Amino acid sequence: MADQRGRGDGSPAPRKGGPRQGSGSGRPQSSGRPQSGGGARKSSDSRSSSGKPYDRDRKPYERDGKPGDRDRKPGDRDRKPGDRDRKPGDRDRKPYDRDRKPGASSAGRSGKPGDDKKRAPRAASDRKGAWDKGPRDGERKGPRDGERRGPRDRAERFERAERMDRSEAQAIYDGPPLPDDITGAELSASVRAHLKGLPEKLASRVARHLAAAGQLVDDEPETAYQHALAAKARASRIAVVREAVGEAAYAAGHYAEALAELRAAKRMNGATAYLPIMADCHRALGNPTRALELAKSPAVVRFVPAAKAEMTIVEAGARRDLGQMDAALRTLEVSPINSKSREAWVVRLRYAYADTLEAAGRLSDALTWFHKTNAIDAEEYTDAAERAESLEKRVDRSAED
């Protein structure tokens, strides 16, 4: 153990594994080099004065010749005076713990003898590490009641959202119940021709949903829209399907969806017949300027009379939205409102003109045109008769005043 401790004369211990100086190993020492301790080693370090290799009366722990080292044991290199009761492995004691009394163990922190043996172990909930300092003032620590955090919680939320998305997508795919009397044969031959590229059963299902949407679009526009979405879920790359979805969405008041679907249909087949509905969607979405741009498209000139009349009505409405009442009236006056035809587009033109006259304050002229509209509206496309009756009362009151 002498080569593990510092030497009594202040010289450092020899390096581990190297020969001991003066141990009698037989190797000559370099006489020309000074010793690491700064002086020559005394002969009493390795031999007794009698010249024997060791002194039988001398105990091994007296090699350094220090008084008071008789009680030292192996492993007590760093032992300090007053630490006699300290045992190996007593690591809880820290050198800076000056307030503790000598001999107090880590378990008996109260300072009473025997506490380290009698004290019961603490519960796991009472054990706090140095990092657990408790919440700060005004700071909530830990999740709320019923709330969990972490990767597992995020995964569960993602799964719930995914299940909801799947259920919603499945509901759209299934669509509303199909009436038994709707077979798909109600569609025109041109529409059925676009479905021939689909498998037979799939084409039949799509055709039935499209036929149901066409039958319900006037009375139940929302249900018609759901039927059209069911057809789209099965055949989204067919232009006539996207057109049907756009028209049903427009009838149900879903103008943004209608505009998106009609744009998709226009990209697929290049058709321009949807421009009046697209322009009116822009009006409904608060963009009358864009509606006027579509109304001036070169394709409008080649429109059939019905489509051209619809675009004229949308253009006049956009002028009214911009506060241009005179321009709206001029737009309608140059249209064929005096046509002798009794078709629906003539009825709608006359009705739009009468409504604009009333909005402009020309009540007598508006009453005249409401009567003219009602005269050709045998199918009652409009409420021109009710509007005329209501306006007559207002005109009469105005005349009395």
Residue 118 Cα distances to 72, 103, 126, angstroms: 30, 17, 18
In this predicted structure, the answer to whether residue 108 has a pLDDT above a threshold of 80 is no
Domain boundaries, the chain: 163-270
The band of 383, judged by pLDDT with boundaries at 50, 70 and 90, is very high
How confident is the prediction for the chain on average, in pLDDT? 75
Distances (CA, A) of 239 to 242, 258, 285, 383, 391: 5, 14, 24, 34, 44
pLDDT digits over 35-53, tens only? Answer: 444 444 444 444 444 444 4
* Tokens representing residue 337 in the block: 């409102």
Residue 334 has a CB neighbour count (10 Å cut-off) of: 9
- Does position 276 have pLDDT exceeding 80, yes or no? yes
* For range 220-230, the mean pLDDT: 96
Confidence (pLDDT) at 396: 81
Q: Which two tokens stand for residue 340?
A: 């002798």
Residue 54 pLDDT exceeds 50: no
pLDDT in tens, 336-364: 999 999 999 999 999 999 999 999 999 99
Give pLDDT, residue 165.
Answer: 64
pTM, 2 dp: 0.58
Task: Give the chain's radius of gyration (CA, Å).
Answer: 51
Q: Assign 168 a pLDDT band (cuts: 50, 70, 90).
A: confident
